[in-house]
Amino acid sequence: MRDIEELRYITANPFKRKGKKELEKNRFIFSLSIDLDWFKTDEAKKIMESAIENELLTDKGETVKANFDLNKIELTFNYQPDTEIIHRLKNIQNTDTGETETTQKLKSKGYTEKEIESQTQEIIDKMHGYIDRGAAELILARKKDIDIEKQVEKELRSLFKQQ
pLDDT range class, residue 83, cuts 50, 70, 90: confident
| Average pLDDT score over residue span 17-38 | 94
The C-alpha atoms of residue 140 and residue 16 are separated, in whole angstroms, by 31
Given CA atoms 42, 91, 102, 158 in this order, what sign does their dihedral have? Answer: negative
Q: What is the mean pLDDT of the chain?
A: 84
CA nearest neighbour of 137 among 95, 108, 93, 92 = 95
Q: Which residues pair with 57 in a beta bridge?
A: 66
Does 97 score more than 50 pLDDT? no
Q: What does the H/E/C string look like for 108-149?
A: HCCCCHHHHHHHHHHHHHHCCCCCCHHHHHHHHHHHCCCCCH
- Supply the pLDDT for residue 94: 47
Strands 22-24 and 57-59: what pairing? Answer: unpaired
For 15-27, write each residue's pLDDT tens digit.
Answer: 999 999 999 999 9
Residue of 129 and 60 predicted with greater confidence: 60
For 69-82, write each residue's pLDDT tens digit.
Answer: 999 988 888 888 88
Does 107 score more than 70 pLDDT? yes
pTM: 0.55
Q: b/e for 151-160, b at 16 or more Cβ within 10 A?
A: beebbeeeee
What string of DSSP letters covers 28-64? HHHIIIIIS--S-HHHHHHHHHHHHHTTSEEE-SSEE
Domain covering 3-91: architecture = Orthogonal Bundle (1.10)
pLDDT range class, residue 53, cuts 50, 70, 90: confident
Domain boundary assignment for the chain: 3-91, 101-161
Among 80-94, 108-122, 142-156, the minimum mean pLDDT is found in 80-94
- Supply the pLDDT for residue 29: 94
- Supply the pLDDT for residue 14: 96
Angle at Cα 16 formed by Cα 45 and Cα 119, nearest 5°?
90
Does 91 score more than 70 pLDDT? no
Does 137 score more than 80 pLDDT? yes
